[in-house]
Amino acid sequence: MRASALLAASALLLSSCLGQQEVDRRHGAHVERGRTVSPSAYAWYARARHFHRLGQLGLAREAYDAVLDSDPKSGAAWAGLASTYCEEDPERAEAAFEKGLARAAETLPLHLARGRCELGWGKTAPALSSARLAFLVDPASPEANALLVEALAAVGQRDEATRVQRGQRLYARTQDQATPQSATRTQVDRALSSGDFALAEALSLELMTRSTLSARALALGQREYAAAEAALVALAAPSDVRAWAVLSLTQGIRAEPPGGPGELGELLTCLWAQELRTSVGTAAAAAFLNAGGSDAASTLRAWRIEGDPLLAACAARLEAPTSAPP
């Protein structure tokens, strides 16, 4: 019941609070804003990819269909749907690829997925055609280059495959040289604080999971974004306890945490204790912290010197005297 309540609340939040959400596309260090898609389509796509990776193709197809009901121009959804049929029904896969290419706004994922399927079918000439089309759409795409190299090798054009491979390596090297120093947690927090969520997501890619990103957004007061991000994670990965914890904290559902302090991580454990202190009392917050294996006072002292300013601020709030007896 708790999970159902959270998912229902999440669906309402996704549809009402965020309106139309732009998609971020990253090319090396560059992030572009793409066309808008509905939050429900975004959430269904995350669910489709989750089932697709698990090999649960029937459920993946249902989710891809739900994406296309909301966003019939989604090239990624058409590509995903078509590729679920590659092994068991090539004719149906081909039909889906053709339909997708006629309707989708983004053709790159379709050319890539089709080329991969064609290589699997042993259709090397069509695979090379798909690879060249993908390369024309985005010559800088590592996936397009890799597919083109593999297709060229499959038809015996090894010299050209070598040239393409060398060109991609040179391009990657120049990108590495042009890329600034690795992003830091401070930069992610600064982007979240300013409401630049696209930048925060791009910076966080190599630093933290999306559920951790949502927890940091919550700690910085960005509750709507934190809830929407956690909802997407929970739909795609229902076992992610941190996403469920963020949803619980943002939507006012009073329940036991979905995991212990060790599973939640330090920041979410602190935020949960803070919620307990506010809604139940100081004793409940201390008991929750003590369940982590050390006494609450020692835990709070350690958090203040941990080096994470958000964790230190949360610990300071828990240590501050209450204005009135609980």
Distance CA 68, CA 37 (A): 11
Convert the pLDDT of each residue in 17-33 to its tens digit. Answer: 444 444 444 444 434 44
Q: CB pairs under 8 A, 24+ apart, for 170-179?
A: 171/140, 172/142, 175/28, 175/29, 178/28, 178/29, 179/28, 179/29
Q: What pLDDT is attached to residue 21?
A: 45
How would CATH label the architecture of 2-178? Alpha Horseshoe (1.25)
Convert the pLDDT of each residue in 251-267 to its tens digit. Answer: 776 567 776 666 888 99
> Tokens 């090894």 sit at which residue?
158
- Residue-by-residue DSSP string for 43-97: HHHHHHHHHHHHT-HHHHHHHHHHHHHH-TT-HHHHHHHHHTTTTT-HHHHHHHH
Q: What pLDDT is attached to residue 181?
A: 54
Q: What pLDDT is attached to residue 235?
A: 72
Convert the pLDDT of each residue in 201-219 to its tens digit. Answer: 878 877 888 889 999 999 9
Q: Tokens in use for 115? A: 């080329």
pTM of the model: 0.54
Distance CA 258, CA 60 (A): 26
Question: What are residue 36's DSSP bridge partners?
Answer: 22
Ranges of residues in the chain with a pLDDT under 50 are 1-2, 4-33, 178-180, 324-326
Residue spans of the domains in the chain: they are 2-178
Question: What are residue 27's DSSP bridge partners?
Answer: 30
Q: What pLDDT is attached to residue 175?
A: 55
228 touches 13 (CB < 8 A): yes
Q: What pLDDT is attached to residue 324?
A: 47
